[in-house]
Structure 1
Amino acid sequence: MEKRIAWKLFKRELFQGQLLLIILAITLAVLSVTGLARVSERLQIAINGQASKFIAADRIINSPTPIDPTIVTTAQSMGLKHVASMQFNSMAFANDNFQLITVRAVGQGYPLKGKIELSTGVTDTLPQAGTLWYETRLGGILAYPKSLEVGNAEFSLSAEIARLPDAGFNPFASSPVVLMRLEDVDKTGVIQPGSRVSYIHQFAGEESQLKTFEATVKPLLNNSQRWVDVQSGDSPIASAVKRAERFLLLASLLGIALACAAIGIAAQRYCQRHFDVVAMLKTFGASSKQIRILFGLHLLFVTGLGIVLGLIGGLALDALITAYLPQAIADYGAPLARPLLLGVATGLISAFMFSAYPLMRLLSIPPLRVLQRQLEGLQLGMWLHLLLSLAAMALLGYLYSQSLALTMTVVAGVLLLGVLLSLFGFLLIRAGHSVGMKTTNPLQLALAGLRRRAKQNAVQLVGFSSALVLLLTIIALRQDLLDEWQKQLPAQSPNYFLVNISPDEQQPLTDYFSQNDINATDIYPVIRGRLVEINGETLISSEQAEEGVEGRVGISRELNLTWRDDLPPNNDLLEGTFNQAADEVSIESGVAERLGVGIGDSLTYIIDNQRLTVKITSVRGVHWETLQPNFFMIFSQEALAPFAYTSMASFYLEDSQKHLVLDLIKGFPTVSIIDVGAMVKQLRQIIDQVSLSLTLVLVLVLLASSLVMIAQTEAGMATRQRELAVLRTFGASGWLLRMATALEFALLGVISGILAVIVAEFTLYLLKTQVFELVVYMHWNWWVLAPLSGALIVALLGTWRCRQLLQKSCSELLSA
């Protein structure tokens, strides 16, 4: 019987429009989360797929010793593609010349991602047995020989390498690269016991396979073996990819918060509309159990319909956006199950946990309300409602993002918004108490309306403020990320590097740049040195630490040192003063943290078998992603004057100037030229895709926020209709009511804007310091723009929704 009554009540209210608000809220919740999750996952997969070309695979295991064969067997059993490679240094001979080279010996199938670029174009093949492909600058160094001796074997040089997909970016790697087949390594005889070799195993496959493989294999790796993916430091776009994924996760989390706010508002409004129904049912003898079943089924029907509509809308939204994506992104498929399950979970958890307290109040309505309409049943337990609401939001957020930092940041922002609404918003609304009910002044009437609907308006502030907080946070983060990436790759970023510049070539090279109008950076001296002591304490290597040797761990390789009189571009002075004396050094912040040193500590280096002790006087933040020369340690010129050095520089060439590269090679045969133009171009493509991702997510959040505001203005229409009828009866003009209504919503918008700025600044501080590692600054213009924008948007939405009520006559309002 209860089922039939619930179904009839559901159909009646559905056709009469009584359920539109809550169905719209649940639909919006599921649509936002499903659509954002689906689009975000597609964009994440596309970004990672494009970025994986920088490492020529999806995952890499890099090891100084051969890896356990079972790892390869496991990968093959999971259906992953696999390529084995080796990398080592060797001396190469051609005629009477010799040169230290880096040998890349690759197996069949290399590269798994990306393409090898030769001077003649892109190729899908590998060198033939007994032949080598060589980096262009090796030909200039050795006068373009026909063949090359490596160890015991002689190889013919068959093609010039313009770029390998996983070449990385290291202008200090002065050894030219040659590419050979893996099976040719044995005949060289170069690899002997104790030789320094990197064994590289590259894997590619579906994301689900890779995650399973990672979970299985990573625990088996030792400390000397490294697991590498596109988010590892080896990738030149690691930072951009990480920040983009965090942004997409954050957008979806804010979508969940948006959904929770919408459902909470709708549930409260729904239950308030049924206070009289419950009182009448109890008056006619319905038991508490029957009423619980009735409204429980009713809520289940509403939730089910909202979830179905939301899932359909989310998939339609994904299809619509995908149709406008670049083909390179649209071609990437995204798993369908997770967004759908997340949408269903969002609908169910939000609907029931956010409806718990309003439903408890509804079921506790006494029958006496039929006579005394001011009775509203349960008035205690608000703390339970808040607890359930926060728990639902945190649970959904963590289930989606798997990021405690992101989830807790969103929860902290919600808590602050709740506190401000309680302390600040309610006080402002109550400030209209003293103006009475005068109907001659629109502002006084608007303030009186705020006072009369203090509780209802406090609920409306939740929706309006939440939407504005989301917009401000997403807009600010998107702009900050785009600005950060623009700094990394400004127009005319260097696409060539020069290394091994001798001191007597610096001035001729500078003159050449000036004569040919080449945009070049400063010339940086480079000196190799090893850090051996900190504050007089001898350092040990990481290998010694693994063997059980006690001591302070240093940096297990030689460092590239330089000098400068002023702070380099793309460096930020974090502490101290930059080098002013011969015994001072400036250190990069990451290395300082790794070594556990700071201002005042002394460092001792061995350079050309000589000891040099200096004191740290400044700590720098370095933007490593800028493709500019950067250094861990910067000295004064006086400190490094006794040591021999070479220099490096970078410059930018337009396509029309590419012929100047040949002139440089001929004019400066001992200088090595490294072409990073292809890398810069590919990096720009990735950044463009990331920028597009951020823009699309911003549009989604804008649409979702607008829907929440529209849904929020639905609340209180019945109460407003009664008040308008009373005011019409007492002679209020249409102009007065329209102005008062617009001003009332505008005041709500102003308060929402102020609250939103406070919460957004707090949330951005947490996000920038704990998640995105961005510079924190105040958005002072928001304190004017946000309240004004809030007033305009909310006033327009409110008056638009009330337009029909404002056009009705007194008799029409009373009879409606």
Structure 2
Amino acid sequence: MNHRTLAWRLFRRELMRGQLRLIVAALVLAVLSVTSLALVSERLQQGLSSEASKFLAADRVLRSPSKIDEAIIIKAASADLQVAQVLEFQSMLFVGEQLQLVSVKAVTENYPLKGSVEALTTLPSKLPQRGEVWFDSRLNQLLQGQGSLAELGDANFDVSASFARLPDGGFNVFASAPTVLMNLSDVEQTGVIQPGSRLTWQYQFSGGEAELETFSEWVKPQLTTSQRWVDVKSQDSPLSRALERAEQFMLLATLLGIALACTAVGVAARRYCQRHYDAVAMFKTLGASHRQIREIFALHLGLTTAVGIVIGLVLGYASAFLMMTLLPQELQLGGFTPSLRPLYLGIATGVIAAAGFTLYPMLRLLSVPPMRVLRKDVGPIGLAGWLNGLAAVLALAALAYIYSGNFTLTWVLLLGVAVLALVLAILGFAMLSWGRQLGVRTGSSLQLALAGLRRRAGDNIVQLVGFSVALMLLLTVLALRQDLLQDWQQQLPEGTPDHFLINIADYQRDEMQQFLNDNHVKATDLYPVIRGRLGSINGETVRRSVTKEDEPEQAPRGIGRELNLTFRTELPPNNPLTAGQWFAADATDEVSLESSVADRLEVGLGDRLSFVIDGKEFSVTVTSLRQVNWETMQPNFFMIFPPAVLAEFVPTYIASFHHPVGQPELVGTLVRQFPTVSVIDVGTMIAQLRQVVNQVSLALAWVIAVVAAASALLLMAQTEAGMAARQQELAIMRTLGASGRLLRGAVTWEFVLLGAVAGVLATLVAELLLWLIKTQLFELVVTPHWSWWWSIPLAGALFIGTLGRLACRRLLANNCAVLLSQR
């Protein structure tokens, strides 16, 4: 018989047995997880970026204080990118006898490239035509009894419509000047743009991702220090942070799932090769050459790998497209053309996992001597154990780098796996050693189980590490997903404020509070707001946003703009102190700083800060630092002072509230009663943020399923790996007259104890790992999971005990003769 034919027959027979099926299943899972998650991630990134780009009104934005070189516009057009221009400036607007400081947004006819202008009244056209302006909803009171003609600079305009919100309106509620939308071609006739005018030009770009990336690489080196290239991720917003955390989680969890699946491949391959030691010895005895034997098992490995890759790719694409149908309409398959990257990643994963994690067991298999036919105690020629570790590490490193493209993350993953395995091995050895002493004093099945753990200490440590890693990584991923979702939901819970009240005068404060109470409106406190500038730190003048020639480079870093300062006697909600003590109500020269601003300014407790308000300078001492949750839709501040410090300055007030259901006329009534107060509706932004979070959570659930499946495979592979030693022990015990009940109890107890110990180790290491990941990667609050310390060991004992009992059921059912014949 041709050795290739023999290899095919052996492959078909072995495919119906345990270890080869486990290898195929592990390869399928690794390929499936990489392929499906790469596809889903690709679609989510496209869809979420498209949805999120509506907050910018474009895919990319170039912000500049002056016009940019025309060559940039020409280059963008040649790259098939759409370009819209926006000019922003402030001016006085006159309507009849009323005047108002406004923020003018002059746009080209193709604005916005993403999203749309949200109408307050019926819009006569997509954008204001020449000679027309549209008003922000906050300007409606100017039109009451004043006609529909507005004067801006030297030109008059018809007020043809009102809008509720612009797609790139942003989250800055302190930008208190209401907005006027006009056609960019009308700006020149107003005459308000003069040399030295403070302008902001925005050049918005939209197009294919590849074209945008190419254009970004070309344009970034040409930007000046005053120009900024912006995309969704570079925005300091709740949305950008949610997307960044979700991508980090998906990448980390997928790498852990791949590592688990590859470990299962290695464990199953080791057991598979051990089962074929006798077959290789027989082949050599019958005259088979080393090359023929190598080809037989190389074909086995090649066919196994091919089957795993093909099935993994098919299931990966099928599951990915099935999952996409569950996404919201705007994120489904329409317009999605997947790249070849997921296909290449899947194939590379299968090949590298198969080669790297089966190389060492295969080399040992091929080195089995013919003498083993006569003597079962003769094993393969000893190979250096470090070869196994080196091959596995190189394979894992290659997979991590190919998938993540991040060299640092690859080394962190490898170092973490090595440290984790070492810690678990040491802890496991210590716990099993304690079990030896306990076994001496225990009788019946439990004593037999503990004796078995002691006899196979080396193999049991390996199994224990495998069980612990599977449980620990599953716990880590589950906890991270839950904490991420909880963190997002806490930022935007039901009842989150969706309207801001700006420019409440001091004399209106009591009346406004009474209005909110009478209408049963759930609102925050009224926070005073005073504009000021940071002047010096510890007596040294701070640098401004753009360093001037006469400013020393050693000067402390400043904020670079006017700040919104407030005073308060009580610590605001969602502002826990991280250092120092909150000042007393009668303090006269203290200030509390937001912790990230303190880090940026390199300021700590006891430092002296000087501020300038209305030309008056005063100094205060930093006595506390606060952690501010900026994602909550409530007023938050960098600096908070005692009331006495800002007593001589006149503040305006700000608050936020949740619009109660069933009161559609509330905002209109409020505007009529308080015409000088600006009302900002952020409800649409909150709805968009919630939609993005829901979409991301669906992808995180799929990652959890992949990691859970990989953990289950590893547990099964580890359980199957110990069957050979157990078979020999059971045969001896049967020969010595041990009852079936005693053996069943001993096997059950052995796996129960392994599961319980693995649960304890998994909980301990998972808590440490979560602390590290939350503090260093996701910036989440660390909370211990006290229920894990009893529930996870119990679950581990039940699950692994049941799994082990099921795996050994056939061995336990056989008599002594059958057990000996199967060896």
Match of residue 112 from structure 2: 111
Contact 1:62 1:227 in 2 (8 A): yes
- 1:517 matched to 2:520? The reply is yes
Deviation at 1:476, TM superposition (A): 1.1
Match of residue 48 from structure 2: 47
Q: How does 1:438-587 map to 2 (within 5 A)?
A: 441-545=444-548, 550-552=553-555, 553-580=557-584, 581-587=587-593
Distance 1:457 1:121 in 2: 74
Distance 2:45 2:741 in 1: 52
Which amino acid letter does the alignment assign opposite residue 386 of structure 1? G
Match of residue 632 from structure 1: 638
Distance 1:401 1:605 in 2: 46
Distance 2:123 2:774 in 1: 41
Contact 2:425 2:462 in 1 (8 A): no
Deviation at 1:776, TM superposition (A): 2.4
Distance 2:619 2:439 in 1: 79
Contact 1:413 1:762 in 2 (8 A): no
C-alpha distance after superposition, 1:300-329 (max 9, x if no partner): 222222111211221222233233333333
Contact 2:609 2:620 in 1 (8 A): yes
Distance 1:757 1:38 in 2: 33
Deviation at 1:489, TM superposition (A): 1.1
- 1:762 matched to 2:765? The reply is no
C-alpha distance after superposition, 1:702-761 (max 9, x if no partner): 233223323433323344344434434444333333332222221221122122123222
SS at structure 1 position matched to 2:547? helix
C-alpha distance after superposition, 1:129-165 (max 9, x if no partner): 1111110111214646402111221111111111111
Which amino acid letter does the alignment assign opposite residue 683 of structure 2? G
Mark the CA change 1:285 to 1:349 in structure 2 (over 3 Å): closer, same or farther.
same
Deviation at 1:470, TM superposition (A): 1.8
Contact 2:545 2:561 in 1 (8 A): no
C-alpha distance after superposition, 1:458-481 (max 9, x if no partner): 333343222212211111111211
Mark the CA change 1:438 to 1:804 in structure 2 (over 3 Å): closer, same or farther.
farther
SS at structure 2 position matched to 1:154? strand
Distance 2:527 2:574 in 1: 14
Mark the CA change 1:239 to 1:812 in structure 2 (over 3 Å): closer, same or farther.
same
- 1:21 matched to 2:25? The reply is no
- 1:641 matched to 2:641? The reply is no
Deviation at 1:636, TM superposition (A): 0.7
Structure 1: 5+ residue stretches without partners: none
Mark the CA change 1:546 to 1:475 in structure 2 (over 3 Å): closer, same or farther.
farther
Distance 1:464 1:60 in 2: 50
Distance 2:98 2:270 in 1: 84
SS at structure 2 position matched to 1:490? coil
Q: How many residues align?
A: 816
Contact 1:265 1:463 in 2 (8 A): no
Mark the CA change 1:421 to 1:610 in structure 2 (over 3 Å): closer, same or farther.
closer
Mark the CA change 1:367 to 1:771 in structure 2 (over 3 Å): closer, same or farther.
same
Contact 1:576 1:619 in 2 (8 A): yes
391-400 vs 451-460, which moves further: 451-460
Deviation at 1:610, TM superposition (A): 0.3
Mark the CA change 1:711 to 1:546 in structure 2 (over 3 Å): closer, same or farther.
farther
Match of residue 11 from structure 2: 10
Distance 1:138 1:41 in 2: 43
Match of residue 310 from structure 1: 312
TM-score (norm 1): 0.94
* Residue among 395, 407, 411 paired with 1:392: 395
C-alpha distance after superposition, 1:274-303 (max 9, x if no partner): 222333334444454444444333322222
SS at structure 1 position matched to 2:80? coil
Mark the CA change 1:287 to 1:568 in structure 2 (over 3 Å): closer, same or farther.
same
Contact 2:66 2:199 in 1 (8 A): yes
Distance 2:281 2:155 in 1: 96
C-alpha distance after superposition, 1:335-363 (max 9, x if no partner): 34222211211111122122232233223
Distance 1:567 1:4 in 2: 79
Q: How does 1:306-345 map to 2 (within 5 A)?
A: 306-331=308-333, 333=336, 335-345=338-348
Deviation at 1:407, TM superposition (A): 3.8
Contact 1:60 1:228 in 2 (8 A): yes
Distance 1:715 1:734 in 2: 22
Match of residue 198 from structure 2: 196
C-alpha distance after superposition, 1:235-273 (max 9, x if no partner): 441211111111111121111211221122122222222
- 1:219 matched to 2:230? The reply is no
What's the Cα RMSD here?
2.6
Match of residue 263 from structure 1: 265
Contact 1:21 1:714 in 2 (8 A): no
Which amino acid letter does the alignment assign opposite residue 159 of structure 2? L
Contact 1:34 1:340 in 2 (8 A): yes
SS at structure 1 position matched to 2:662? helix
Contact 2:497 2:633 in 1 (8 A): yes
Contact 2:82 2:206 in 1 (8 A): yes
Mark the CA change 1:276 to 1:808 in structure 2 (over 3 Å): closer, same or farther.
closer
Q: How does 1:709-788 map to 2 (within 5 A)?
A: 709-788=715-794
Mark the CA change 1:438 to 1:302 in structure 2 (over 3 Å): closer, same or farther.
farther
Deviation at 1:416, TM superposition (A): 2.7
Contact 2:138 2:679 in 1 (8 A): yes
TM-score (norm 2): 0.93
C-alpha distance after superposition, 1:166-199 (max 9, x if no partner): 1011111110001112222222222222222111
Distance 2:518 2:337 in 1: 53
Distance 1:335 1:153 in 2: 51
Deviation at 1:431, TM superposition (A): 5.6
Deviation at 1:623, TM superposition (A): 0.8
Match of residue 354 from structure 1: 357
Distance 1:123 1:742 in 2: 77
266-275 vs 167-176, which moves further: 266-275
Contact 1:539 1:551 in 2 (8 A): no
Contact 1:30 1:314 in 2 (8 A): yes
SS at structure 1 position matched to 2:565? strand
SS at structure 1 position matched to 2:535? strand
Mark the CA change 1:692 to 1:737 in structure 2 (over 3 Å): closer, same or farther.
same
665-674 vs 324-333, which moves further: 324-333
Distance 2:764 2:817 in 1: 45
Structure 2: 5+ residue stretches without partners: none
Distance 1:402 1:636 in 2: 50
392-401 vs 432-441, which moves further: 432-441
- 1:36 matched to 2:37? The reply is yes
Which amino acid letter does the alignment assign opposite residue 740 of structure 2? G
Identity of matched residues, %: 53
Contact 1:601 1:616 in 2 (8 A): yes
Q: How does 1:427-442 map to 2 (within 5 A)?
A: 427-429=430-432, 441-442=444-445
Mark the CA change 1:524 to 1:141 in structure 2 (over 3 Å): closer, same or farther.
farther
Contact 2:19 2:271 in 1 (8 A): no
Which amino acid letter does the alignment assign opposite residue 26 of structure 1? L
Distance 1:427 1:601 in 2: 50
Distance 2:665 2:67 in 1: 44
Contact 2:36 2:316 in 1 (8 A): yes
Mark the CA change 1:792 to 1:69 in structure 2 (over 3 Å): closer, same or farther.
farther
* Residue among 166, 169, 179 paired with 2:168: 166
SS at structure 2 position matched to 1:655? coil
Deviation at 1:618, TM superposition (A): 1.1
Deviation at 1:4, TM superposition (A): 4.8
Match of residue 276 from structure 2: 274
Match of residue 801 from structure 1: 807
* Residue among 663, 668, 674 paired with 2:674: 668
